[in-house]
Amino acid sequence: MTEKRPHILLIDSYCSFAYNLAALCKKAIPSSILHVIRNDTHTIKDLLPLLRQFSAVLIGPGPGSPDITSDIGVVRDLWKVADEHMIPIFGVCLGQQSLAIEHGASLHRLEAVKHGQVSVVRHAGDEIFEGLGEVKVVRYHSLHVKLEEGGAIKELAWTEDEENGKVIMAIKHTFKPFWAVQYHPESVLTDEGGLKMIMNFWKLAQDWNTRSRPLFVSPSQICVPKSHIWPRVHRCCPHHELNVSIDTVTHTSIAVPNINVLRLCEHLGAYDSSRRFVFLDSAASPGQFSILACLGDSSPQVTHYVNEDFIEVTTQNSKQRYELVGTDFWTWLDQYRNSRKVAGGDSEVPFWGGFAGYLTYEAGYEVLNISAPRQKDHRDAHHPDVNLVWIDRSVVVDTTRSRVWVQSLLRDDDKWVQETVHTIVCLSQEPEPSLPPAGEVTIQFPDHMQYVKSIKQCKEYLFSGDSYELCLTGQTHITVPKEAAISTWQRYKLLRTVNPAPHGGYLRLHPTTFLSSSPERFLSYSRSPGTICQLRPIKGTVRKLPHITREVAEEMLTGSRKEIAENLMIVDLIRHDLHNAVGENVTTKKFCDVEEYEHVWQLVSVIEGSLPHGTPAEIDDTLGWEVLRRSLPPGSMTGAPKKRSVELLQSIEGHERGPYSGVFGYWCAGGGGDWSVTIRSCFLHDSKKDGDEDWIVGAGGAITALSDPEAEWDEMNAKLNGVLRGFGASC
Ligand SMILES: C=C(O[C@@H]1C=C(C(=O)O)C=C[C@H]1O)C(=O)O
Ligand SMILES: NC(=O)CC[C@H](N)C(=O)O
């Protein structure tokens, strides 16, 4: 007889850690089938007939307050179901608070909120803590509960901290099968209070089911409307319906000891501002490959604005419009790339040809179900949200080994490849031309008072439990008078001289000109099969000054509770985003390493994920794109929980971010891709073409409850500085 697999219902309250909880549950109960719903998608009437089929319910954490209907949704009704619907429930954080207050406990704000903080939890070693000693756990909460004397809820665990005194950390119902914890068992820094504790819950739940639901048999299938089973096989467009013919990459590689990448760009048209140009530049360590696109008149540029329901494909001389009927831009682009798939490039080279360009911060709104309100004339005021060009011919330089690859996806293109090799060799003999002065500019900084006011607003949301971390940003406008303007290409060359970065970029994809000196990789993914997705969030910044040596920076960053907490929150959020796309296999490879950049020291973590072994290559092939779709905007630019934080920031900042805070990079036609976070960058819109140049630079930082407003203002300026130097200015 095959053993029946238990079905578990996971209710997500829009927390950015729900899939971490799902992964932990799957580890604790390997045979379980997890059905995920949101707390506002079902009424209790919808759920009642379904509950009897489940073995247990997990209630996830979430922003807001357990006494606000729109925050807690259906959860509060679950505690009150009649005996015949009773089912074991385990609640986390907001879940614990709801269980407690629905049974007479009072709700309070913490004196000192705990977001991404590790605490030692004490308990009596029974129930969900059976067999556990003292546990170290991560807390993300602003609120807490005080139990009613003699009430139905009993305390199981507590912690003691300097500022808040004793805080309840776990509870149970005295006779119903309800348990809950205030801390986060699924956080990467929670120890045995995570896995072992969920295993204990499962044992208690099974015992209760045997005792109180003797007739219960787990069904082989349950159909829950508006739910999905986790892990869900990621969306893969019906590639087989397309008539896919796979072309081969023509390529050749040579060693060029003095490769002059900038001269090569110029030879390829970097100065011709009427034409499109793409240069992804590894101008500093740990960057390795630089990519130069050799675009022609017929190279297709694909653009899309999130408030429009079509995509435009433009070449130098034509424009075509594709309606997005019953599909979205992600699927459309996936199919476009799939119909141009290639094979046979050099496996050492990450990019053989394919898409390169950027996606804005707002391009991530759709998946979060947030709208970007825009005016009718939005095209004059906004950069396209998707702005990519398809590259058939390219030169890739390995900057660490002075090796160059010339590649073409076009048929019978040997002649071009050989001519380009010849050109590269000749150009490497030429001297580097000197740079012009930066010219005079006028700068409009974010208003200091307003920025400090916004920080205070953020902190109020952190105290009320609506967010754990908010990445607040401000906009700086740099006006370059028409007569003083140097070419945008020269501007980029200045920027890369004053702020060389591993993820540099010069993209001239009209109407946008985009210059970047970003230190942060968002996501890279290797070719299938066996695709590995890697995310590298940066959180934690110290300005570089003569006395700030590596040792001092390490002490300031890894020795600081605030900086570690900032980074931890984003690591947990990114683990969730990755678990959402790949399922169980997610690993935190590095946690809080200190890395050195031109003007700042940064704390960096590395998280990797992959689909299970043996996943068909065509599913692996779109995995990276799917991870991108499910993970934008980058967590390090939003804060956590993501959806609520983005909504709050939208109203606090009062303007769109555009390309800033989005991603730029490439998706190779042979699989694999690399996307950087668009920070330390500036943009220009063609609508201002005939007048003065109006560059926009975004900069900001994570605001947590421990933030000091003046220190945050200084940090924002430190980040801005890197870009300002490209304009001969500083702050
Ligand atoms: C917001 C910016 O940077 C982000 C915020 C960081 C932080 O808070 O320490 C670090 C890197 C980025 O993820 C920026 O550069 O403008
Ligand atoms: N992590 C959570 O579920 C937080 C619950 C609640 N919003 C608080 O801040 O206390």
CA-closest candidate to residue 293, choices 261, 254, 325, 335: 261
For residue 175, pLDDT beyond 50: yes
pLDDT in tens, 366-388: 999 999 888 877 888 899 999 99
Looking at residue 241, its pLDDT comes to 47
- 16, 635 Cβ separation under 8 angstroms: yes
Peptide bond just before 433 cis, omega within 30 deg: no
Mean pLDDT of 18-37: 98
Looking at residue 245, its pLDDT comes to 65
CA-closest candidate to residue 632, choices 330, 259, 279: 330
Angle between helices 623-631 and 561-582 (to 10 degrees): 130
Looking at residue 239, its pLDDT comes to 53
Continuous segment of H or E residues that includes residue 647:
helix 642-653
For residue 465, pLDDT beyond 90: yes
pLDDT in tens, 48-59: 999 999 999 999
Cα(134)–Cα(342) distance, rounded to whole angstroms? 55
Cα(404)–Cα(252) distance, rounded to whole angstroms? 8
pLDDT grade for 642, boundaries at 50, 70 and 90:
very high
Looking at residue 599, its pLDDT comes to 84
pLDDT in tens, 395-425: 999 999 989 999 999 999 999 999 999 999 9
Choosing from 15, 98, 115, 142 the residue with most ligand 2 atoms within 8 A of its CB, the one to mutate for a pocket test is 142
pTM of the model as a whole: 0.96
CA-closest candidate to residue 200, choices 152, 146, 157, 230: 157
Cα(151)–Cα(134) distance, rounded to whole angstroms? 26
Looking at residue 429, its pLDDT comes to 80
Region of poorest pLDDT, from 264-278, 299-313, 375-389, 526-540: 375-389
Give the atom of ligand 2 at the shortest distance from the alpha carbon of 92.
Answer: 3
Q: How big is the chain, counted in residues?
A: 731
Judging by DSSP bridges, how do beta strands 56-59 and 7-12 pair with one another?
Answer: parallel
Looking at residue 689, its pLDDT comes to 60
pLDDT grade for 244, boundaries at 50, 70 and 90:
low
Ligand 2 shell residues, CB under 6 Å: 61-64, 93-94, 140-143, 465
Is the CB of 635 inside a 6 Å radius of any atom of ligand 1?
Answer: no
Region of poorest pLDDT, from 279-283, 480-484, 582-586: 480-484
pLDDT in tens, 627-640: 999 999 999 999 99
What percentage of the chain carries pLDDT values higher than 70? 97
Distances (CA, A) of 229 to 17, 22, 51, 94, 224: 16, 10, 16, 23, 9
Tell me which residue has its CA closest to atom 5 in ligand 2.
Answer: 94
More confident residue, 459 or 731: 459
Looking at residue 2, its pLDDT comes to 45
Interface predicted TM-score of the whole assembly (ipTM), two decimals: 0.98
Give the atom of ligand 1 at the shortest distance from the alpha carbon of 701.
Answer: 8
For residue 236, what are its two tokens? 């893969």
DSSP secondary structure, 396-413, as one string: EEETTTTEEEEEE-STT-
For residue 711, what are its two tokens? 């220190």
More confident residue, 611 or 244: 611
Burial (Cβ within 10 Å: 0-12, 13-18, ≥19) of residue 325: exposed
Looking at residue 614, its pLDDT comes to 87
Choosing from 143, 464, 644 the residue with most ligand 2 atoms within 8 A of its CB, the one to mutate for a pocket test is 143
For residue 236, pLDDT beyond 70: no
Measured from the Cβ of residue 160, the count of other Cβ atoms closer than 10 Å reads: 13
Distances (CA, A) of 148 to 97, 101, 173, 555, 716: 13, 9, 12, 44, 46
Q: Coil, strand, or helix at residue 75?
A: helix
User: Ligand 1 center to residue 690 CA distance, Å?
Assistant: 33
Strands (DSSP E) found in 32-124: 33-38, 56-59, 89-92, 106-123
- 88, 82 Cβ separation under 8 angstroms: no
Ligand closest to CA 682: 1
Is the CB of 538 inside a 6 Å radius of any atom of ligand 1?
Answer: yes
Tell me which residue has its CA closest to atom 3 in ligand 2.
Answer: 61
Query: Is the Cα dihedral 127, 132, 134, 136 positive or negative?
Result: negative
DSSP 351: -
Cα(116)–Cα(201) distance, rounded to whole angstroms? 24
For residue 243, pLDDT beyond 60: no
Is the CB of 680 inside a 6 Å radius of any atom of ligand 1?
Answer: yes
Looking at residue 42, its pLDDT comes to 98
For residue 365, pLDDT beyond 70: yes
Type of residue found at 451: Y
Looking at residue 603, its pLDDT comes to 96
pLDDT in tens, 649-700: 999 999 999 999 999 999 999 999 999 999 999 999 998 666 899 999 999 9
Looking at residue 375, its pLDDT comes to 80
CA-closest candidate to residue 17, choices 674, 644, 602, 458: 644
pLDDT in tens, 195-207: 999 999 999 999 9
Looking at residue 234, its pLDDT comes to 61
pLDDT grade for 621, boundaries at 50, 70 and 90:
very high
CA-closest candidate to residue 314, choices 368, 272, 362, 276: 276
- 358, 389 Cβ separation under 8 angstroms: no
For residue 671, what are its two tokens? 């699989």
pLDDT in tens, 82-119: 999 999 999 999 999 999 999 999 999 999 999 999 99
Tell me which residue has its CA closest to atom 8 in ligand 1.
Answer: 701
Q: What are phi and psi of 422, to 5 degrees?
A: -60, -45
Residue keyed to tokens 């000749």: 426
pLDDT grade for 438, boundaries at 50, 70 and 90:
confident
Tell me which residue has its CA closest to atom 14 in ligand 1.
Answer: 699
Residue keyed to tokens 């000891």: 257
675, β-bridge pairs: 523, 665
Mean pLDDT of the chain: 94
Query: Which residues carry out catalysis?
Result: 93, 184, 186
More confident residue, 21 or 244: 21
Looking at residue 430, its pLDDT comes to 80
Looking at residue 235, its pLDDT comes to 55
Looking at residue 437, its pLDDT comes to 85
HSE of 423, CA atoms in CB hemisphere, 13 A: 17
